[in-house]
Structure 1
Amino acid sequence: MVRDSPSINTNNMTAVQLMELDACSRCGECVNWCPTYDASGEDPGLAPRDKILRWREYMNKSYGLRAKLFGPKKISEDEIEQFKDDVYGCTTCGMCATVCESAINTIELWESMRANLVKRGNGPYGKQGMFVKLIGEYGNPYMADKKDRLSWIPDDVVIEDEAEILYFGGCTAELRQKKLAFATARVLNKLGIKFTMLGEDEVCCSSALVRTGQYEIDDIARKAAKANVEGIKKKGAKKVLYACAGCFRASKVDWPRLLGEDLPFEVVHITEFLSDLIKQGKVQWKDSVDKTVTYHDPCHLGRHVGVFDAPRHVLRSIPGIKFVEMDRIKDNQRCCGAGGGVKAGIPDLALGIASSRVEDALAKKPDILSSACPFCKRNLSDGRDAVKAEDLEVEDVIVLTARAMGINLDDCVEE
């Protein structure tokens, strides 16, 4: 008797993750907190618990006791395709991991499921499939020429050929939200910090490939990580600064995994760097920012790697700012909606989550909703427009820092 092959396999799933599937107690706490489930109108397919239980069912049908005795039970392609749609309807924010009573590392679990589905031929979702071609061909997701990475640099900014500190600009700041790159470079110059950049040699951090399960395709993500690490080493950098939470997370967590070795330099978010300088009394303020400000924790900076206090310390140190917290903060904050490829693949869902997060902010009546991630800034700005909160300014922490230091950013032209 010839038995059918299992409909799914264990590719990209670790032994721990296979055990985590059985660890789910079905308590439903993750469902109560999930931002995509909430913004979708409570679509049961997007509930974290539901996805775990369905994948567990698939594994049992393919490898359980019955499968061993009588052969794997067929799972229809339509069912697997629906599961693919649901597992990609997730920002990989990690809120479910925070509240999980069984301590399941859901961030890693979703990414492993996605990688498994990509390898099977079912993923990714929609426009996310363009990431491989764009990053592989252009070195960035915006189809920009590598020379465009230097186009934002104004004449007054001094960037060294080599230095012990390197600013990794990131695709979005260098090619789209240029005010972030402007502010970071000018703040470093104002503080007398000598720094270098990779310039044309910088390649996308490949966070989008990892988050969407495409990191093994054509080895693009690993090659990009290696190119960046080798470039940073050639510049003589011992410390690398990031103003993009996505690039920061990718460098700190994903690059060592892709390369199979520790990085030969320190990875620091710009808010951590500034917070230390403020504590040392090395930041001189010139102007007062007389505004009420609240702060949104980027998932990649906060829950993913644990940087919560540094951005708040910077904001609280800026003269004139009245700092207020939203109800959901730090480990319990609501995602902005842009992560996990959702902004590219399911923009309506991303907007719904962003709108809810803006409503969280508006409850505290701030003048400025601040964050420390260009993706958060973009999606929260879209959410502000959606709820028609025209008076709410959405701005990055480093831009507010530059403003308080008397640094001009008016000559910056965003894409």
Structure 2
Amino acid sequence: MPDADKRFAEEWRDAAYNCFSSGHKFCREVCPVMQVTRNESWSPTAFHANVVAMEKGELEISDVAADYVNCTGCGACELRCPNSLFTGDFYRFRTRTVDLVKAARALAVSQDVHQDAWRRWNAETDERSHEPVTEAAGQERVRDWAEGLELAIGGETILFVDCEAAFHRTSVPRAVARMLNLAGYKFGLMNEQWCCGGPAAEMGYEEQARRFARHNLDDWRASGVRRVLVLDPHDYITFTEDYPKYFGDDYDIEIVLVVELLAELVREGRLTPHIPVERSVTYHDPCRLNKRKGVWREPRELLRAIPGLTFTDVDRVTQWSYCSGGGGGLPIEKPELTARISASRIDKAAELGVDTLVSACPWSERPLSEAGRARSIDVVDLFELLATSLGVAP
């Protein structure tokens, strides 16, 4: 067994045995991949069992690297695991399956074991400084979405717009910028924004992720940035979990989630939705907000503040098992599996008799929209919906 495999097994053995010994497998039923494939090799329990096998010398990472593709990083398995549910009471151990999957992918890349689509995607991201979400994605066009808005460059507070929103769903950041301007909230843009690096880290390309993170932090420092607004939950995870790991005490940037900021501005009366929006909606909890960060109240506050909406809510805990399939690099390597997961999510919305599924994550909206067309269900971003009621929709 390669030395790197041995070190990996040593690092993750306790997590593996704490999972593998319980036998309950509750995590399988909330795993979006397991829900549509029933493939035990792609289950959270298998991801831990592999570590046990590696420790015993029965497997190497090259034998199972392809299995670790089949994870969206949603975190539902961690929430459902008794290790997490009973932390401090019985097991006294927090399950970290998402981190385990990222570590296994990084181990594979370090040994030159690649997934073809992920390798191409990250090579092109490295070349463009942005993910190739559209043909137009590139450094020279990263601020095209802001044309005509006359936004400043730099300042203490800047808005970071993820690749999907900057190049594909440009109406989302335009809606956010117009609402912040309406509220009199001062912000600017980066001088030279690169991809946050989070997708590279999720696919195992950690050196590239760190390099992109270093560039962005240096840009913030040079522009006097103290606060970064993020509209995308994936960026929020990267800036609040990966960057602190990379930079330690040197990282003192405040990260503000736009959905929480807008809810605060509505509460304060600085924004008042007043134009009725006649839709029947339900809300899709983005995995990285609800499950990973516990953010579920503020999106619902905003929906309930919009006049004209008929809002049918679903218990946020029930939605631990809901996922768009749009995370963890899955749509890049296995778009057909993402499509099946999104179709399953749309089916659950259709059961409620709504005409619109509202999300607060640009990365979930492309696969959900494609699935929604087959069921005549619109997929609309929360920020666009709120901007419509405020009279500043793009």
Distance in 2 (CA, whole Å) between partners of 1:235 and 1:307 is: 30
Bigger share in helix: 2
CA distance in 2, matches of 1:121, 1:9: 13
2:145 to 143, 152, 166: 152
Tell me, what secondary structure is at the counterpart of 2:363? helix
1:189 aligned partner: 181
Q: For residue 301 of structure 1, give the secondary structure of its aligned residue in structure 2.
A: helix
SS in 1 for 2:255: strand
2-structure distance, mates of 1:44, 1:162: 49
Asked whether 1:129 is paired with 2:129, we answer no
Of 350, 353, 358, the residue aligned with 1:362 is 350
User: Which AA in structure 1 matches 2:198?
Assistant: S
Residue of structure 1 equivalent to 2:35: 38
Query: By how many angstroms is 1:14 displaced?
Result: 6.9
CA contact (8 A) 1:95 1:331 kept: no
Q: Which residue is equivalent to 1:167?
A: 159
Cα 1:325/1:284, change in 2 over 3 Å: closer
- Of 251, 272, 275 in structure 2, the residue corresponding to residue 263 of structure 1 is 251
Partners of 2:279 and 2:175 in 1: how far apart? Answer: 19
After superposition, residues 15-414 of structure 1 pair within 5 angstroms as: 15=11, 17-24=12-19, 25-40=22-37, 42-61=38-57, 75=59, 81=62, 83-103=64-84, 104-123=95-114, 125-142=115-132, 144-155=137-148, 157-199=149-191, 201-216=192-207, 220-261=208-249, 263-326=251-314, 329=317, 332-385=320-373, 388-390=374-376, 392-409=377-394
Q: Residues of 2 paired with 1:128 and 1:260: CA distance?
A: 28
The alignment partner of 1:370 has SS state of strand
| 204-213 or 282-291, larger mean C-alpha shift | 282-291
Query: CA offset at residue 162 of structure 1?
Result: 3.6
- Secondary structure of 2:184's partner? coil
Deviation at 1:237, TM superposition (A): 3.0
Structure 2 length normalisation: TM-score? 0.90
Cα separation, 2, equivalents of 1:235 and 1:368: 40
Counterpart residue identity of residue 102, structure 2: E
Question: Structure 1 residues 161 and 51 mapped into 2: Cα distance closer, same or farther (>3 Å)?
Answer: closer
Change (3 A) 1:401 1:14: farther
For the pair shown, the structure with the greater C-alpha radius of gyration is 1
CA shift, 1:242, in A, is 1.1
Secondary structure of the residue that 1:240 maps to in structure 2?
Answer: strand
Could you tell me how far apart the structure 1 residues matched to 2:56 and 2:352 are?
48
Q: Distance in 1 between matches of 2:352 and 2:281?
A: 9
How many pairs are equivalent?
379
The code of the aligned residue for 2:80 comes to V
Could you give the per-residue CA deviations for residues 31-64 of structure 1, whole angstroms, max 9, x where no partner exists?
A: 1221101112x11211211231132112122xxx
Conservation of the 8 A alpha-carbon contact between 1:98 and 1:331 = no
Describe the SS at the equivalent of 2:16.
helix
Name the CA shift for 1:235/1:12 in 2 (closer, same or farther; >3 Å).
farther
Q: CA deviation at 1:367?
A: 2.2
**1:300/1:374 Cα in 2 relative to 1: closer, same or farther (>3 Å)?**
same
Task: Give the C-alpha shift of residue 228 in structure 1.
Answer: 1.2
TM superposition shift of 1:377: 0.8
- CA shift, 1:365, in A, is 1.6
Match of 2:45, SS state, is helix
User: How far is the alpha carbon of 1:82 from its aligned partner?
Assistant: 5.3
Given that 2:306 and 2:389 are in contact with CA atoms closer than 8 Å, whether structure 1 keeps it comes out as: yes
Q: Residue 372 of structure 1: CA displacement? A: 0.9
> Contact 1:287 / 1:319 at 8 angstroms: preserved in 2?
yes
Any idea what SS the aligned residue of 2:281 has?
Answer: strand
Residue 37 and residue 194 in structure 1: after superposition, are their counterparts in 2 closer, same or farther (change >3 A)?
Answer: same
Q: Which runs of 4+ in 1 moved over 4 A?
A: 5-8, 11-14, 327-331
Q: Is the 8 A contact 1:13 1:116 kept in 2?
A: no
- Show the counterpart of 2:87: none
CA deviations on 1:71-92 (whole Å, 9 max, x unpaired) are xx6x4x7xx5552221111111
State the distance in 2 between where 1:12 and 1:138 align: 32
Aligned AA for 1:30? C
Provide the rounded CA distance (Å) in 1 between the counterparts of 2:47 and 2:301: 38
2:5 match: secondary structure: coil
Shift, 1:233, TM fit = 2.9
8 Å contact kept, 1:295–1:325: yes
8 A Cα contact 1:221 1:258, kept in partner: no
Secondary structure at the aligned position of 1:365 is classed as coil
Q: Please, which runs of 5 or more residues in structure 2 have no aligned partner?
A: 85-94
Alignment check: 8 A CA contact 2:155 2:223 kept: yes
**1:204 maps to amino acid:** C
